[in-house]
């Protein structure tokens, strides 16, 4: 009996050691898989950043887009493997970035596996804005000379200095100020307009009809102060562009067809005949939603937005 007992105790010890080795191996594998998963997440973050950076140069320059993607990949851990371009709305408006890196294990080295390759892909697209955020409430007519003066399109850049009238716009009681508040009729008040000028309207605005904010408010102290603050903080403002204005006073309605960025350099209130001076420019606007490919597109006034598409 004693001999059998000693034999059974020996078997239990062997089984315990076997299970312990198996458990340790599983724990090691879990730790290494977790490490590889974190490495894969890191490559995805790098790919996303590189694609978004590269898309800012599209569709104008694929060379600049490749350079920007490479720079951002280097800043976020490197590993850029490939950059390619494709078409969504037009030629070369979409960039795809592939990032690959070796991910080392700890315990798997005991089995001769020093590292595995992890990789991620990201695609970003630049396109015109169908919905805009942080818009300023100053309306621009689509026939403005600097919006049609360069081969039928906008003249962009500081070589094309101009002014935008903030005065009577062709409908009684309409003075080129737009009520952006949920497309409602009536005045929104000088203080509200001043807030939209300084910070932009904090809401998404679609292309369509917007009522005029009636009366002469542009020369008020609050709006003038807001214009000065905006020029100091961020002089590029996004204005709604309209093609028609119908109705009178608070019933006057601007038909907005798109959005144009304007670099403000000066303001002149001039009573009822104020204006904003500066120049139209192109910009990648942070507050923008792209239209679906194949759907109706807004006119190109220089405002684009960039987003990841997969």
Q: What is the pTM of this model?
A: 0.81
**Listed residue (105, 103, 118) closest to 44, CA to CA:** 118
pLDDT at 3: 52
pLDDT at 12: 63
Residue 123: both structure tokens together: 């695609």
The residues, any chain, with a CB within 8 Å of residue 183's CB and separated by 6 or more, are 208, 209, 210, 211
- Please, are residues 98 and 30 in contact by the beta-carbon 8 Å criterion? no
What is the mean pLDDT for each group of 10 consecutive residues in the chain (310 residues)? Answer: 54 61 56 63 90 94 96 88 93 94 64 67 94 96 96 96 87 80 70 94 93 83 94 96 88 92 93 88 93 83 92
pLDDT at 189: 82
- Three-state DSSP string of the chain: CHHHHHHHHHHHHHHHHHHHHHHHHHHHHHHHHHHHHHHHHHHHHHHHHHHHHHHCCCCCCHHHHHHHHHHHHHHCCCCEEEEEEECCCCCCCEEEEEEEEEEECCCHHHHCCCEEEEEEEEEEEEEEEEEECCECCECEECCCHHHHCECCECCCCCCCCEEEEEECCCCCCCCCEECCCCCCCCCCCHHHHHHHHHHCECCCEECEEEEECCCCCCCCHHHHHHHHHHHHHCCEEEEEEEEEEECCHHHCEEEEEEEEEEEEEEEECCCCEEEEEEEECCEECCCEEECCCCCCCCCCCCEEEEEECC
pLDDT at 215: 73
The ranges assigned to domains in the chain are 2-126, 134-286
Residue 307: both structure tokens together: 């987003």
Instruction: Determine the Cα–Cα distance for residues 239 and 267; give it in Å rounded to an integer.
Output: 15
pLDDT at 158: 96
**Listed residue (258, 221, 228) closest to 243, CA to CA:** 258
């Amino acid at each position: 009996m004693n001999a059998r007992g000693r034999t059974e105790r020996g078997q239990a010890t062997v089984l315990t050691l076997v299970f312990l080795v198996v458990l340790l191996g599983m724990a090691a594998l879990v730790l290494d898989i977790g490490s590889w998963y974190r490495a894969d997440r890191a490559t995805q973050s790098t790919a996303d950043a590189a694609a978004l950076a590269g898309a800012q140069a599209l569709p104008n320059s694929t060379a600049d887009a490749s350079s920007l993607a490479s720079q951002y990949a280097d800043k976020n851990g490197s590993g850029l493997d490939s950059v390619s371009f494709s078409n969504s709305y037009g030629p070369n408006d979409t960039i795809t970035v592939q990032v690959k890196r070796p991910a080392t294990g700890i315990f798997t080295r005991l089995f001769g596996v020093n590292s595995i390759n992890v990789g991620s892909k990201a695609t970003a697209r630049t396109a015109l804005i169908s919905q805009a955020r942080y818009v300023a409430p100053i309306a621009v007519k689509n026939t403005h000379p600097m919006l049609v003066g360069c081969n039928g399109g906008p003249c962009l850049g500081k070589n094309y200095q101009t002014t935008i009238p903030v005065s009577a716009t062709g409908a009684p009681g309409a003075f080129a100020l737009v009520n952006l508040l949920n497309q409602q009729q009536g005045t929104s008040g000088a203080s509200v307009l001043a807030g939209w000028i300084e910070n932009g309207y904090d809401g998404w605005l679609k292309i369509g009809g917007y009522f005029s904010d009636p009366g002469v408010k542009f020369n008020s102290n609050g709006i003038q102060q807001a214009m000065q603050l905006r020029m100091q903080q961020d002089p590029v403002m996004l204005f709604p562009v309209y093609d028609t204005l119908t109705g009178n006073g608070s019933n006057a309605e601007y038909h907005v067809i798109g959005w144009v960025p304007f670099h403000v350099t000066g303001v002149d209130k001039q009573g009822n005949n104020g204006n904003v001076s500066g120049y139209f420019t192109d910009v990648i606007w942070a507050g923008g939603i792209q239209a679906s490919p194949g759907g109706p597109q807004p006119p190109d006034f220089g405002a684009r937005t960039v987003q990841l598409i997969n």
